[in-house]
Amino acid sequence: MVIGIDLGTTNSLAAYFTEDGPKIIPNRLGKNLTPSAVSVDPEGNVYVGETAIERQSLYPDSVARTFKRSMGTDREYVLSGRHFRSEELSSMVLRVLKEDAEHFLGEEVTEAVISVPAYFDDKRRKATKKAAEIAGLKVERLISEPTAAAVAYGLYDKTKDTRFLVFDLGGGTFDVSVLELYHNILEVRAVAGDNYLGGEDFTRVLEKLFLQKCKLTMSELSEKEQVRLNRQAEKAKCSFSDNASVKMSFLYRDQTVEQEITLKEYESACEELLDKIKEPVKKSLSDAGLKLSDVDEVILIGGATKLSVVRDFLIRLFRKFPDTSLNPDETVALGAAVQAAMKERREEVKEIILTDVCSFTLGTEVVVEYEDGKFEDGRFCPIIERNTVIPASHTERLYTVRDNQEKVRVRVLQGESRFAKNNLFLGELEMVVPKGPKGKEAVDVTYTYDINSLLEVVVTAVSTGFSQSLIIKGEENQMTDEEIRERMQELSFLKIQPKDIEENRLLFLRAERKYEESLGEERKRIDYYLTSFEAALERGDKDEIEELRAKLLSILDEEE
């Protein structure tokens, strides 16, 4: 039996396919949702789900939650003196889901289709697969959560072509996907998102608001008091759906502290988070080449979309009422179960071709030669750009840059920055080439990326025909997305000259951001003027700086 699993940040659940369609598998407590929480006691006993959450109130240092956000990183969680990686903790959740499914179905479960956020990069997807293998599950396929949701809504069985936007705001991650259905093909057109935005952040806003009213700070609270406050905030957050105000109270130093918070106050405090939601929506539509008016349906999934502050904001943003006919907590698991049935070629399921896209740009490091004969190394050359439909295979020809150069090194990178060192390093290989004048010898670099997130790199020397290849698994990469963003921002400030001119610094950062948001010719155009502007800043010619600044500003205003 192949089951579908939604391995979530806050809750996880499993489903299976029946003659009547997909059904949720209840856990050992008879509930559909299993909290993604793990606790380990000093004796080495492991507790998963609600039990772990209950233990958190008593033994805060023995419980881990929201560890999905750290998938594929080197972060370790210390529980009762024992160290665990995120994939190890996730494997414990998956093992419980597997055991519950076997008990409910009365047969052994060895295979699963597991959902992952559409914006998960390769290392996070492979960490998820590793977690499943540790739990004793063979992964039939990793399916993007929005795609699973689309399948669950029956969009695979529609009779007319449909474009739709799937808005997925879970406990800890946020995805936006634009999909299109035509005939029996369900194609992902574009994805965008934030691996560090979810319902937990809306809970923290409420915690902060409450503490401000109490004239307290989080650092003044003990670990147990922080856990109690989090529970109260989570409860109050959900209560806003039916109330214009909520009362929050918790025990602080043996005294009950209480405050009333209105929905208006909460909405105001959430403005920064709501603004962060807009960008991935705009980015996904832009990459898909669509306007919001081109979208036929908007689907909400993820538990955080049930929050009134989020739902009201989305109605204003999309200017239409989204489809909420399915429980947003269960949609992804149901879709994963349908996909599992497709893998089993069940007669009850209409066969459909599911396509996906490459979430991040894949490229290599190159040396750039300018018209004045100067060289700049460390630049990023995109080969497969983000949101390219996969499987895909693209080739870029690279030339030697020095006389009598003997080798060409190809560094495989993933990211959106135009500077190589700001992107994720995935691997490298070297190709020997015959000696000769610079620019005479060349290598063809071919990237092939498939539906299972495997990247094959083939480098071929043009003159000799000799080839070398490498399969990139990326498991050695331990840098988180947050660390990459912080590094990129720091480096942007360091590279700006003169640093004391605010308008130049602001324009430079704006151009960097727009470059990362752009693709194709638009990206090349911005890169050209951004590089020229950067060079002018280094030379310090005020008239040249003013001229290029005006030009770059005009281009950015035009593009945006």
Between CA 384 and CA 221 the distance in angstroms is: 49
Helix (H) or strand (E) holding 214: helix 199-214
Distance of CA 221 to the CA centre of its chain: 32
Of 86, 170, 194, nearest in space to 478 by CA:
86
Whether 145 is a known active-site residue: answer yes
- Length of the chain as a residue count: 560
Q: What is the DSSP letter of 391?
A: S
* Cross-strand pairs, 37: 65
Order of strands, sheet of 37-40, starting from the edge strand that comes earlier in the sequence: 46-48, 37-40, 63-65
Helix axes 145-152, 331-343, angle to 10 degrees: 80
Whether 267 is a known active-site residue: answer no
Contacts of 420 (CB under 8 A, 6+ apart): 364, 365, 366, 378, 379, 380, 411, 413
Contacts of 3 (CB under 8 A, 6+ apart): 14, 15, 16, 25, 101, 109, 111, 112, 113, 337, 340
Whether 6 is a known active-site residue: answer yes
Between CA 457 and CA 122 the distance in angstroms is: 15
Between CA 235 and CA 233 the distance in angstroms is: 5
CB atoms within 10 A of CB 62: 20
Asked whether 403 and 433 are in contact (CB, 8 A), the reply is no
Whether 168 is a known active-site residue: answer yes
Between CA 149 and CA 165 the distance in angstroms is: 11
Q: Where are the alpha helices (DSSP H) in 215-330?
A: 223-239, 263-269, 271-288, 308-318
* Cross-strand pairs, 382: 363
Residue reference for tokens 């606790």: 39
Active-site pick, 121, 168, 201, 416: 168
DSSP for 191-203, please give it.
Answer: EEEETT-SHHHHH
Amino acid letter at 53?
Answer: I
Q: Are strands 162-169 and 174-182 parallel, antiparallel or unpaired?
A: antiparallel
Active-site pick, 87, 122, 140, 145: 145
Q: Which residues are catalytic?
A: 6, 68, 145, 168
